[in-house]
């Protein structure tokens, strides 16, 4: 299912190829502009960020990043100077550039929350998903089709609809606004994807491998560990990336079920406020930092993307 499989024998003419290329490149360039604009804004000063007409050439500044990470409250150059020698990178920048910072910011803890919750839930979802996918793939499970459909249907509910009873349940159990609660929730949402994707991958591994291993005296579990898992590594990795992207980007549950200690970055970034309005360079800086991991994954895994986004429903 690679994106680069050779195909057209009926080769399109060179001219039509050139036109097709021009249109696609044009679309790609237009569609990437908002992202480049976010990136550029993250290096502007607040006045530059709201200048009209929009500034394409500007003196780069890291004020946005400083505002994003500062733990100080509303610092001015005079205030910084009164503190004695500069203690960090941000302090130095503030002194050199005469910046006014509207801190303190909670970005770092929110970002760490995102990391913990996204990776924690991904690990759990992939772990449970692998076991179940193997179970569905290799054993005669009563009502397997119904169970699989049930697993899939758990994704059809609008998140807000699920959020109401989950909110009540978590309040009873003391799980509201905790990382554990969010990990459990995201695991439950992701596990359906993981089971469906991994079942596809494991179905393609011939049963003969395990049968051979079992004839050699391995138990079913050992055969699973020795033969199936190593073969399924690529599939497991691809599944993990999809679970990670979902948990990383999720907003609705996070916005409704977390408010303080367990809040993740997506609901936090829009709330970054500076002097008299939204501090757009800081928001852009937060956005940029938040996007980097996903961009890296996208580029590394573009070939596996297809299978994931189609839920394994598109088969070769």
Partner 1 sequence: MLNRTADNVARATPEPLARRIRGISDKGLAWLFISPTILLLLAINIFPLFWAIYLSFTNYRANRPNEVVKNLGLANYRRILGDQDIWIAMQTTAHFVFWTILLQTVIGFTLAWLIDRKFRGHAFWTTIILVPMMLSPAVVGNFWRFLYEPQIGLFAYAVSFVTGIPPTNVQMLSNVELAPWAIIIVDTWMWTPYVMLICLAGLRSIPEYIYEAAEVDRASNWRQFWSITLPMALPFIMLAVLFRGIENFKMFDMVNLLTGGGPGSTTEVASITLKRQAFESWRTGYSSAFAIILFVAVFGLANIYVKALNKVKQR
Q: What are phi and psi of 75, to 5 degrees?
A: -90, 140
Total of chain residues touching partner 1, rule CB under 8 A: 111
Task: Please choose, out of 63-71, 115-123, 200-208, 266-274, the segment that lies near partner 1 by the rule CB under 8 A.
Answer: 266-274
Residue 136 binds partner 1 (CB under 8 A): yes
Could you say which of 86, 100, 116, 141 contacts partner 1 (CB under 8 A)?
141
Rounded to whole angstroms, the Cα distance separating 26 from 23 reads 5
Residue 292 binds partner 1 (CB under 8 A): no
Residue whose CB is less far from partner 1, 44 or 94: 44
Residue whose CB is less far from partner 1, 92 or 222: 222
Task: Please choose, out of 49-57, 71-79, 93-101, 200-208, the segment that lies near partner 1 by the rule CB under 8 A.
Answer: 49-57
Residue 58 binds partner 1 (CB under 8 A): no
What residues numbered 195-254 form the site for partner 1, per CB under 8 A?
Answer: 195, 218-222, 225-226, 245, 248-252
Taking the complex as a whole, the smallest distance from the CB of residue 80 to partner 1 amounts, in Å, to 28
Task: Please choose, out of 76-84, 86-94, 127-135, 230-238, the segment that lies near partner 1 by the rule CB under 8 A.
Answer: 127-135
Residue 71 binds partner 1 (CB under 8 A): no
Residues 6+ apart with CB under 8 A from 33: none
Task: Please choose, out of 15-23, 79-87, 100-108, 203-211, the segment that lies near partner 1 by the rule CB under 8 A.
Answer: 15-23
Residue 143 binds partner 1 (CB under 8 A): no
Residue whose CB is less far from partner 1, 195 or 232: 195
Rounded to whole angstroms, the Cα distance separating 189 from 193 reads 8
Residue 174 binds partner 1 (CB under 8 A): no
Whose structure tokens read 């573009």?
Answer: 302
C-beta separation of 47 from 24 below 8 A: no
Residue 150 binds partner 1 (CB under 8 A): yes
Residue 187 binds partner 1 (CB under 8 A): yes
Could you say which of 280, 282, 285, 312 contacts partner 1 (CB under 8 A)?
280
Peptide bond between residue 147 and the one before it cis (omega within 30 degrees of 0) = no
Residue whose CB is less far from partner 1, 91 or 250: 250
Could you say which of 85, 165, 260, 276 contacts partner 1 (CB under 8 A)?
165
Residue whose CB is less far from partner 1, 69 or 253: 253
Residue 57 binds partner 1 (CB under 8 A): no
Taking the complex as a whole, the smallest distance from the CB of residue 70 to partner 1 amounts, in Å, to 20
Rounded to whole angstroms, the Cα distance separating 305 from 239 reads 10
Task: Please choose, out of 20-28, 85-93, 104-112, 200-208, the segment that lies near partner 1 by the rule CB under 8 A.
Answer: 20-28
């Amino acid at each position: 299912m690679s994106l680069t499989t050779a195909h057209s024998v009926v080769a399109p003419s060179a001219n039509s190829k050139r036109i097709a290329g021009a249109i696609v490149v044009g679309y790609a360039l237009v569609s990437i502009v908002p992202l480049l604009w976010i990136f550029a804004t993250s290096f502007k000063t607040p006045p530059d960020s709201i200048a009209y007409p929009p500034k394409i050439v500007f003196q780069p500044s890291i004020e946005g990043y400083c505002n994003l990470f500062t733990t100080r409250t509303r610092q001015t150059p005079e205030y910084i100077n009164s503190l004695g020698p500069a203690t960090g990178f941000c302090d130095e920048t503030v002194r050199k550039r005469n910046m006014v910072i509207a801190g303190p910011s909670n970005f770092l803890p929110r970002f760490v929350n995102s990391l913990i919750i996204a990776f924690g839930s991904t690990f759990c979802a992939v772990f449970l998903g692998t076991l179940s996918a193997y179970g569905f793939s290799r054993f005669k499970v009563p009502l397997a089709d119904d169970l699989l459909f049930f697993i899939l249907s758990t994704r059809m509910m609008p998140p807000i609809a699920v959020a109401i009873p989950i909110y009540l349940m978590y309040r009873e159990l003391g799980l509201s606004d905790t990382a554990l609660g969010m990990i459990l929730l995201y695991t439950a949402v992701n596990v359906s994807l993981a089971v469906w994707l991994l079942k596809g991958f494991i179905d393609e591994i011939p049963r003969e491998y395990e049968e051979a291993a079992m004839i050699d005296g391995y138990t079913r579990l050992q055969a699973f560990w020795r033969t199936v898992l190593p073969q399924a590594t690529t599939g497991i990795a691809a599944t993990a990336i999809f679970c990670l992207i979902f948990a990383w980007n999720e907003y609705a549950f996070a916005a409704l079920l977390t408010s303080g200690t367990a809040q993740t970055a997506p609901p936090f970034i829009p709330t970054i406020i500076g002097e008299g309005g939204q501090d757009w360079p800081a928001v852009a800086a937060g956005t940029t930092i938040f996007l980097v991991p996903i961009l890296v994954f996208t580029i590394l895994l573009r070939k596996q993307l297809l299978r994931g986004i189609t839920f394994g429903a598109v088969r070769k």
